[in-house]
Amino acid sequence: SAVISQKPSRDICQRGTSLTIQCQVDSQVTMMFWYRQQPGQSLTLIATANQGSEATYESGFVIDKFPISRPNLTFSTLTVSNMSPEDSSIYLCSVEGTGGGGYNEQFFGPGTRLTVL
């Protein structure tokens, strides 16, 4: 299994500012995933963060708005830039563990609850 921590756990930010969320894993992992959960909605994949290469963004998400760093195999950051109230969400990072039969279980961080005023 993997133990994931995120910082901050929550924040209240002003419109137009940026917030960087940190994700730390207790073991080395190849792929890290960043998700957003808007109020009352399910999770949506923002991007996949690979160590040593550019993150891969899903449709509707762009690097200028959500820059991601992945400096090593245990750490990643997601920045929410030029925030607006629509960015108020829970942001979660996730990694794949090693399951049986070649398929991988997902482990999730505790989430960062962001409120933009």
Partner 1 sequence: KNEVEQSPQNLTAQEGEFITINCSYSVGISALHWLQQHPGGGIVSLFMLSSGKKKHGRLIATINIQEKHSSLHITASHPRDSAVYICAVSRRGGGGGADGLTFGKGTHLIIQP
Contact residues: partner 1, CB under 8 A: 30-31, 33, 35, 37, 41-45, 48, 58, 90, 92, 94, 96, 99, 101, 103-108, 110-111, 113
Please, what sign has the CA dihedral across residues 85, 54, 92, 24?
A: negative
Could you tell me if 90 and 110 are in contact, meaning their C-beta atoms sit under 8 angstroms apart? no
| 10 vs 16, beta carbon nearer partner 1 | 10
The full DSSP string for 63-84 is: TTTS-EEEEETTEEEEEE-S--
Choose between 55 and 83: whose C-beta lies nearer to partner 1: 55
Residue whose CB is less far from partner 1, 41 or 82 = 41
CB of 108 to partner 1, least distance (A): 4
Choice between 71 and 110, CB closer to partner 1? 110
Q: Identity (one letter) of the amino acid at 14?
A: Q
Q: Which two tokens stand for residue 1?
A: 């299994």
> Between β-strands 56-57 and 43-50, what pairing exists: parallel, antiparallel or unpaired?
antiparallel
Residues 60, 42: Cα–Cα separation, whole Å? 16
Least spacing, CB of residue 16 vs partner 1, in Å:
25
At closest approach, how far in Å is the CB of 39 from partner 1? Answer: 11
CB of 58 to partner 1, least distance (A): 8
